[in-house]
Amino acid sequence: MAKLETRRSKDGKSGSYRVSWLFGGSRGGKTQTCTFTGLDKGALSLANTAKELAEARRHRITSDEVYASVLGERKKVSSTPLVRDWFEEWIGSRVRLSPRERRNYRSKFERRIAPLIGHLPVDQVTFVEIGKIINDLRVPPVSSGHKPLANTSVTRYYSVVFSLFKAAVARGHITVNPCLESGFVRNETDHDDEGTEHRFYLTEDQYQVLLSAFKPEDRIVIELLVGTGGRYSEVTALAVEDILAPTATEGPRIRFRRAWKESREKKGSWYLGPPKSRQRRTVGISMNLYEQLVDYVQGLPPEAFVVRARRGGPMRYQNWHTHIWKPAVLNARRCGLHPPPNQETRMEGSSGRCGDYGGIGAYSGKPCNLSVVPGYNRCGRHFGPRADAVSTCGCPGVLPRNLNEHDLRHSHAGFLFANPTVTVNAISRRLGHGSIRTTVDIYGGLLPKAEQAAIDAITAATRSKPGRPTAVKPLSLPKTTSREVVLAAARSVADKDGRVARKDLTAKIGDRLTKTTLAYTLTALVKSEALLREQRNRYRLPTAA
């Protein structure tokens, strides 16, 4: 509620009444104050009126508006709506927002934006206020209870403010978007592709390790995620009719035209909507994956889901992640030769509770109250490795770290970037990114490999010198030998890289040379092996008939 204070001078002969409140009534709201000079009844009456007005408006009123109502004047007259009122008008006019996006926009505005600028008229928001919002998101006050946000998360809040004032420009409330003068640099990483330090790119061997950890009936989901680069919400929304058979001009394809979306009205309720960024797309798949899909959906109607739960319904993420994904990944991280250590140890004369020796309940997180097994320091439930324990041996057949379903999408991109013939534009289209810049922002660390491949290609193309190739420099052989005989023999026994083995050349011409001459000849040939190999590759040295 609003607070009325009496402020007196040191001599007590003069003073004023001050009314203060937090805009919106929340702790994060900006403090509003109105001061009425004097200690007479008139000043007190004005202060009481201001206090009542602020409370009647539920503290959603600025000090300028209170002055205007109480004194009949306003310090700054503005014909534009307040930012809070304009947000309600703007969010209600957006026709392409999904219910979940609309709820997220409103949540961001109410939690972190409205307390700072919601009380201001639209035309009084400058780059200064925008900068304060950005800095508050990065380093919030300790009293606010908010956590500092990374640049990716700050970008999402900034996008709401930017779109809000962009619409205000179009509406004619302002002439310039104040966000343009803030100097903030966006991070355009998609919300489901963030976390650069947490991404994990599977190698081909690690992918096979992960795939073998799943049951055969569940592997089709892994094959789809890695083989198409689709999001889990897109892959699980595929229908049988979205599997496109190969034609005379194109191979088999998968059509991503919808994805699962969370409902705005009821949390935990899902519906089918367009993919993220509305990037409906058709991507090619391997013939092997196509044949697996055909066998998997045999006998199902066209509208049936490709990925189905045990009872035939849609596969919900929570059920998949909890009951299928996590146990399989845990199994892939355990080595058969080096299993995780057991929790129990031998302890003669042990007694009491399992929690007395460090046993912790898996669900409660509290010390276990069950009695220990005689001779051990754990109860029967805590025998064997911990439920989440993994091997740390580093064997090649074990996954080195934990990963989630979205890492399969990153691995798909990693496999594509490893091939220098695949363009960034093609990768961006397969992944369904809204712009190619998003792809570069996410996977820019993989581009040096493609850059090196480009350097190798241009080096190979420009390696030969201009003009006609010169003749091969003959080998320096002793005068007592027949140069033509030795060179012809060396060519006949050299491999594709131009290497000449001693035993092969000895067997070829040993009976035609003396031992001394042969030793000297072989020494000269061995020293010039590298030269012969280079000359053979450069000038395409012909093989004697």
Which pLDDT score is estimated for 447? 73
> Does residue 367 sit in helix, strand or coil?
strand
Q: HSE on the CB side for 368, CA within 13 Å?
A: 22
Which pLDDT value is given to residue 544? 44
DSSP, residue by residue, 36-71: EE-SSHHHHHHHHHHHHHHHHTTT---HHHHHHHHH
- Measured distance CA(305)–CA(293) in Å, rounded: 12
Q: What pLDDT is attached to residue 355?
A: 82
Q: Torsion angle, CA of 498/503/507/508, rounded to 10 degrees?
A: 20
pLDDT at 161: 94
The whole-number pLDDT of residue 480 equals 43
What would you measure as the largest C-alpha separation in the chain, in angstroms?
A: 132
Q: Which pLDDT score is estimated for 15?
A: 82
Neighbours of 219 (CB within 10 A): 17
Neighbours of 421 (CB within 10 A): 9
Q: Are 305 and 270 in contact (CB under 8 A)?
A: no
- Non-local (6+) Cβ contacts of 333 within 8 A are 390, 391, 398, 399, 401, 402
**Chunked in runs of 10, what are the mean pLDDT values of the chain (545 residues)?**
85 83 80 85 87 85 82 61 92 84 89 88 89 91 84 89 93 90 71 57 93 93 94 94 93 94 75 85 94 93 92 89 93 91 86 84 78 88 86 90 92 89 90 86 75 74 58 46 60 64 62 52 52 50 44
- What local confidence, expressed as pLDDT, does residue 545 receive? 41
pLDDT score of 468: 54
Give the closest residue to 433 by CA, choosing from 189, 236, 159, 150: 189
Identify the pLDDT of residue 387.
81
Residue-level pLDDT at 465: 54
* CB-based contacts of 198, cutoff 8 Å, min separation 6: none
CA distance 412 to 429: 13
Looking at residue 540, what is its pLDDT? 46
Q: What is the pLDDT of residue 279?
A: 82
Q: No. of H helices and E strands in the chain?
A: 21, 8
Q: Please, are residues 355 and 369 in contact by the beta-carbon 8 Å criterion? A: yes
The answer to whether residues 94 and 102 touch, using CB atoms and an 8 Å cutoff, is yes
Q: Are strands 253-256 and 281-284 parallel, antiparallel or unpaired?
A: antiparallel
